[in-house]
């Protein structure tokens, strides 16, 4: 048996998703990519800020994920914003589809990373936050920061 490289290299992170949504469940999905797209990802180039996930005909797709063209890719480069298929188990897709029919749920990409030689996307089943929820989260974070600052001062 060959040695497997299980090192994880983070390529893109969607911090805004945690600010705008309550993430209830997380799933790891593969992405169907072309050769030049994976080369561009290996260089660390990707953006998922404006992207979202949808389900059509029991297949999961990611929309708006931007992978810039590979510099040495010439005619093999694909459209940077094209729709890409996500690779999930059928049971996971059915479960997500069931939750999407409920009011207020959506699926958002959380991060893109290389796991060994494979490119993966972590997607989250999310419920939207209201404005007051966001304010509460900001206030709690500020209180935690103040408490940590006070604790550091008292240790000196």
Q: What is the pLDDT of residues 115-140, one digit of tens each?
A: 888 888 888 888 877 776 778 788 88
> What domains can be seen in the chain, in order of their start residue?
9-129 (2.40.280.10)
Residue 58 is predicted with a pLDDT of 84
**Cβ neighbours of 50 (radius 10 Å):** 12
**Using CB atoms within 10 A of its CB, is residue 98 exposed (0-12), middle (13-18) or buried (19+)?**
exposed
* pLDDT (tens digit per residue) in 26-71: 888 888 887 777 888 888 878 888 888 888 888 888 888 888 877 7
Q: Are the CB atoms for 30 and 114 separated by under 8 Å?
A: no
Mark out the alpha helices in the chain (DSSP H runs): 15-20, 35-42, 90-100, 131-155
User: Which residue is associated with the tokens 């005909």?
Assistant: 57
pTM of the model: 0.70
Q: Choose among 116, 119, 99: nearest CA to 107.
A: 99
pLDDT band at 77 (very low <50, low <70, confident <90, very high): low
């Amino acid at each position: 048996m060959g040695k497997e490289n299980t090192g994880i290299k983070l390529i893109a992170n969607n911090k805004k998703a945690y600010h705008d949504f309550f993430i209830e469940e997380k799933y790891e999905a593969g992405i169907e990519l072309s050769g030049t797209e994976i080369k561009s990802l290996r260089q660390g180039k990707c953006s998922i800020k404006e992207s979202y996930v949808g389900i059509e005909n029991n297949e999961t797709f990611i929309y708006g994920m931007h992978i810039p063209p590979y510099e040495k890719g010439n005619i093999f480069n694909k459209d940077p914003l094209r729709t890409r298929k996500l690779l999930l188990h059928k049971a996971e897709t059915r479960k997500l589809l069931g939750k999407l029919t409920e009011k207020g749920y959506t699926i958002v990409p959380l991060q893109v990373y290389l796991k060994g030689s494979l490119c993966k996307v972590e997607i989250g089943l999310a419920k939207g936050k209201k404005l007051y929820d966001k304010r509460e989260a900001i206030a709690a974070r500020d209180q935690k920061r103040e408490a940590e600052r006070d604790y550091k001062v008292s240790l000196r």
